[in-house]
């Protein structure tokens, strides 16, 4: 979040003179939601505070599916996090991930080389390091996933209550064929934000595209 705030300050978005619309996709959606609450409730430093006008969340990774938790934790427990589909490194692995998030088949083949190239210098456990921030699971143990999910739900509700009190408009857009973000996220955001929240469902769309 500090990186986003630094960027906004660098481009003059935090001088308080121009209303800011926050838009975030996937992990960026989760960041935009928390960032909006931080700036609306005055938690951010006054010198870098963003005058948030409205927020749009596209498939926001505020809470991921139980299947994703189970898959990632399973491969990590067995020392094979490199086999997790999200930890792709080769073009074939990137194609598999692109199919999961909803890209059309012709695009999977075209985009896979680009994604694989972007991971070429990253460590083998890249996804696990990302996962600790996204999923909230730091270690293994009985009830760890449930505790992580509970913490994520509490954070969602906390940020939402701040935006509800300020009547900040929030739009949540999610696909009906979403396989990454938990299906409960749009309704939980609406429950937390209240009447200021609108939800749009894109029929047949996955996390990124339409298969």
Report the alpha-carbon distance of residue 98 to residue 102 in Å, rounded: 6
DSSP code per residue over the chain: -HHHHHHHHHTTTTSSSS-EEEEEETHHHHHHHHHHHHHHTT-S-GGG---EEEEEEES-TTSB-HHHHHHHHHHHHTT-GGGSGGG--SHHHHHHHHHHTT--HHHHHHHHHHHHHHTTTS-TTHHHHHHHHHT---S-STTHHHHHHHHHHHHHHHHHHHHHHTT--EEEEEETT-SSB-TTHHHHHHHHHGGGEEEEEETT--SSS--
HSE-CB of 137 using CA atoms within 13 angstroms: 25
pLDDT in tens, the chain (211 residues): 777 777 777 766 666 677 889 999 988 899 999 999 998 887 777 767 788 999 999 999 887 777 767 766 666 666 665 567 777 888 998 998 888 777 888 999 999 999 999 888 888 777 767 766 666 655 545 566 777 778 888 889 999 999 999 999 999 999 998 888 888 899 999 999 999 999 999 998 888 765 4
Q: List Cβ neighbours of 68 (8 Å cut-off, separation of 6 or more).
A: 135, 180
With 0.95 as the threshold, say if the pTM is over it.
no
């Amino acid at each position: 979040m500090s990186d986003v705030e630094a960027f906004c300050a660098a481009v003059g978005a935090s001088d308080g003179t121009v209303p800011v619309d926050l838009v975030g996709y996937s992990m960026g959606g989760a960041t935009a939601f928390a960032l909006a609450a931080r700036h609306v409730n005055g938690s951010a430093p006054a010198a870098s505070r963003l005058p948030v006008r409205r927020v749009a969340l596209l498939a926001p990774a505020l809470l991921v599916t139980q299947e994703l938790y189970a898959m990632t934790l399973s491969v990590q427990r067995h020392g094979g996090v490199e086999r997790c589909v999200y930890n792709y490194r080769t073009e074939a692995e990137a194609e598999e991930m692109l199919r999961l998030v909803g890209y059309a088949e012709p695009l999977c083949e075209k985009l896979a080389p680009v994604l694989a190239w972007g991971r070429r210098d990253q460590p083998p456990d890249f996804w696990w390091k990302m996962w600790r921030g996204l999923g909230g699971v730091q270690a293994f143990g009985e009830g760890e996933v449930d505790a992580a999910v509970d913490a994520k739900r509490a954070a969602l509700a906390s940020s939402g209550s701040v935006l509800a009190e300020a009547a900040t408009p929030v739009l949540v857009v999610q696909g009906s064929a979403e396989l990454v973000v938990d299906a409960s996220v749009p309704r939980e955001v609406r429950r937390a934000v209240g009447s200021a929240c609108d939800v749009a469902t894109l029929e047949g769309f996955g996390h990124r595209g339409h298969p």
